[in-house]
Amino acid sequence: MKKDLILLLTMVGIASAYALDAQSLSRRLTLTETIYTAHEQSPSSLMAKHNFLASYWEYRSYKAQYLPSLNLNATLGQFNRSLVALQNSETGNIKYVQNNNMRNNLSLSVNQNIAMTGGTLSVYTQLYRLDQYAPQRSITYNSQPINITYIQPLRAFNSLKWQRKTAPKEYEKAKRVYLETMESITVMATSLFFSTALAQQQLDLANKNYRNTESLYRIAKERFEIGKVSQGELLQLELRMLNDGMAINEYQLQLDMNKLQLKSYLGFNDAVELELVLPDSVPSLTLQVPEVVELSYANSSFGLTQGLSLLSAEQEVARAKANRGVTATLHAQFGLTQENESFGYAYRNPMDQEIVSLGLSVPILDWGLGKGRVQTAKSRENVIRTQVDLNDTEHRQDLMIKVVQFNNQTRQCQISSKADSVAEQRYEAVRERFINGTASVTDINTAQSEKDEAARRHISELSKYWNYYYTLRKLTLYDFISRTNISTEFDKIVGK
């Protein structure tokens, strides 16, 4: 008895586990849950994250240019045994002598870029050892306890100065592009959700219509036998039933295809079975064009993109001007040095050393090459300014059209919802009349077609509403329902 009880409990446990596992494969998703899932686990969201991380590390690399860098350089065990050609300064005769030595060098340096001037400041210390093996054995140390070097280009293009203007804006743009990409994922998930929901509803209607038509066909057949229904009407109803049967197969195939696309986009495997729940209603929102335009320029990447295009054009003009005419480089160096055969004495009483040089490059005749490059850069700048103005105009017009479409869509959803309800009631009324013998087959077919069309139209209008809404969210990065800017925790994305 005890063994039978244990066996029964074990079987119940296994059955419960299978039931839970089967339940876990079925998912009921609302529109909100679908969007959340797309943001959390879809391949598109993962790509958006990695694209942002690439921009983040690019920005980190930019910031690192303005911080001092510490570098250790070494040349260890450079052995050289060869013949070297030496020329006598008095006779001009060339003689080959044996070279047999080993060189070792170690240096530690700190380098700092100067953004305002484009120069580079370096401070370093260095120790050099020379082991000479022939013609006699000797060791020589050369030390430079401290050496300060400054290199300053004159009239040159200062890339660091321009990067200070553009890099922070590029990083801010990357943040906004990431948010816009997530909103694009929202729009895509919404479109797939309603496409699948429409196929799901059409399949349900087809099954319901088939059952209703089959029931009405049996009634019509009985009436045909007593002469109350003509053969043409009976055949018309039979044809309707056959068409409803074919529609079931078509809608089932369409539903399977749409579910496969939705599951693939959301990152689900094939074992997950989805059941979609349509939203009951839509928020009653009325948007104002000036507010939407202001939010778009303040929050989205559009304004930054326009500004960066102008900065890029101005940068190319500055580069062309800097590369035209006289260029110069100032090199200044101060340090201490000493050499000795003893390591300890190589650091005693060091001598100072100073090096100052000015390098010049003066194009005497370039046949107008420099001037041509400057004029080309200026022409491109004017083209970009014109394009920016055109983009602004088109962007404002696009926003205005989308706001008008969205505001009109609220009313469309209300009307389609009412039409869906009325069409359903009319069909039920005509169906009752047909059963009572006061409605024709044509009446029932017409009522069913109108009911199906009203149901399809209602889902279509709901889909348009939410697509318009999320598209405007993407263009403004603003949630008009909660009245808050769309943001995310970027520190979590970069792992801080």
The string of pLDDT tens digits covering residues 88-113 is 878 888 988 888 899 999 999 999 99
Sign for the pseudo-dihedral over CA of 361, 367, 368, 373 = negative
pLDDT at residue 484 is higher than 90: yes
Q: Which of 326-330, 440-444, 477-481 has the highest mean pLDDT?
A: 477-481
Confidence of residue 496 (pLDDT cuts 50, 70, 90): low
Burial 470-483 (b: 16+ CB within 10 A, else e): bbbbbbbbbebeee
Number of domains in the chain: 2
pLDDT at 23: 44
* Residue ranges in 25-97 assigned as alpha helix (H): 31-41, 43-64
Do 267 and 411 reside in the same domain of the chain? yes
Mean pLDDT for 219-239 is: 74
Do 337 and 279 reside in the same domain of the chain? no
How much is the mean pLDDT over the chain? Answer: 86
* 323 is a domain residue: no
Burial of 189 per CB tally in 10 Å (0-12, 13-18, 19+): buried
Return the closest-CA partner of residue 189 out of 39, 76, 335, 58: 39
Report which of residues 152 and 234 the model is more confident about: 152
Report which of residues 248 and 234 the model is more confident about: 248
* 40 is a domain residue: yes
Find the domain containing 99 and state its range: 75-114+119-155+329-362
pLDDT at 11: 42
pLDDT at 149: 92
Sign for the pseudo-dihedral over CA of 151, 156, 161, 163 = negative
- Picking from 34-38, 113-117, 178-182, 291-295, which range would have the lowest pLDDT averaged per residue? 113-117
Do 168 and 242 reside in the same domain of the chain? yes
Do 302 and 214 reside in the same domain of the chain? yes
Long-range contacts at 302-310 (CB < 8 A, ≥ 24 apart): 302/395, 302/475, 304/169, 304/172, 304/173, 304/176, 305/173, 306/388, 306/391, 306/392, 307/169, 308/166, 308/169, 308/170, 308/173, 309/384, 309/387, 309/388, 310/381, 310/384, 310/385, 310/388
Mean pLDDT for 373-396 is: 92
Q: What angle do CA 442, 447, 450 make, to 5 degrees?
A: 125
Q: What angle do CA 307, 313, 63 make, to 5 degrees?
A: 65
Question: What's phi and psi for 329, nearest 5 deg?
Answer: -135, 125
Do 197 and 282 reside in the same domain of the chain? yes
Those residues with Cβ within 8 angstroms of residue 180's Cβ, 6 or more apart along the chain or in another chain: 300, 301, 474, 477
DSSP state letters, 344-388: TGGGSSPEEEEEEEEEEE--S--TTHHHHHHHHHHHHHHHHHHHH
pLDDT at 22: 41
Those residues with Cβ within 8 angstroms of residue 334's Cβ, 6 or more apart along the chain or in another chain: 147, 148, 352, 353, 354, 355
Q: What's the pLDDT tens digit per position in 25-68?
A: 788 889 999 999 999 989 999 999 999 999 999 999 999 988 99
* 465 is a domain residue: yes
The CATH number covering residue 277 comes to 1.20.1600.10
Do 80 and 52 reside in the same domain of the chain? no
- Picking from 123-137, 254-268, 333-347, which range would have the lowest pLDDT averaged per residue? 333-347
Mean pLDDT for 194-213 is: 88
pLDDT at residue 210 is higher than 60: yes
Under 8 Å between Cβ of 177 and 301: yes
Do 269 and 345 reside in the same domain of the chain? no
Those residues with Cβ within 8 angstroms of residue 230's Cβ, 6 or more apart along the chain or in another chain: 224
* 282 is a domain residue: yes
pLDDT at 36: 93
Distance CA 298, CA 61 (A): 27
pLDDT at 469: 95
* 367 is a domain residue: no
pLDDT at 166: 92
pLDDT at residue 359 is higher than 90: no
Under 8 Å between Cβ of 339 and 357: no
| pTM (2 d.p.) | 0.82
Those residues with Cβ within 8 angstroms of residue 14's Cβ, 6 or more apart along the chain or in another chain: none
275: its two tokens: 């059941």
pLDDT at residue 134 is higher than 90: no
Sign for the pseudo-dihedral over CA of 303, 305, 311, 317 = negative
pLDDT at residue 13 is higher than 70: no
Confidence of residue 2 (pLDDT cuts 50, 70, 90): very low
Mean pLDDT for 451-475 is: 93
Do 396 and 470 reside in the same domain of the chain? yes
Distance CA 369, CA 321 (A): 11
Under 8 Å between Cβ of 61 and 160: no
* 320 is a domain residue: no
Do 136 and 207 reside in the same domain of the chain? no
Burial 403-435 (b: 16+ CB within 10 A, else e): bebbeebbebbeebbebbeebeebbeebbeebe
Those residues with Cβ within 8 angstroms of residue 295's Cβ, 6 or more apart along the chain or in another chain: 476, 477, 478
Do 305 and 396 reside in the same domain of the chain? yes
Confidence of residue 440 (pLDDT cuts 50, 70, 90): confident
110: its two tokens: 């700190």
- For every residue of 225-284, which 3-state class applies, written as one string? HCCCCCHHHHHHHHHHHHHHHHHHHHHHHHHHHHHHHHHHHHCCCCCCEEEEECCCCCCC
pLDDT at 18: 39
pLDDT at 6: 43
Mean pLDDT for 324-342 is: 85
Under 8 Å between Cβ of 478 and 299: yes
* 241 is a domain residue: yes
pLDDT at residue 125 is higher than 60: yes
* 275 is a domain residue: yes
Do 294 and 407 reside in the same domain of the chain? yes
Distance CA 424, CA 418 (A): 10
Q: What's the pLDDT tens digit per position in 252-282?
A: 999 999 999 999 999 888 888 888 998 888 8
Q: What's the pLDDT tens digit per position in 144-160?
A: 899 999 998 888 888 88
Do 131 and 199 reside in the same domain of the chain? no
Distance CA 458, CA 201 (A): 11
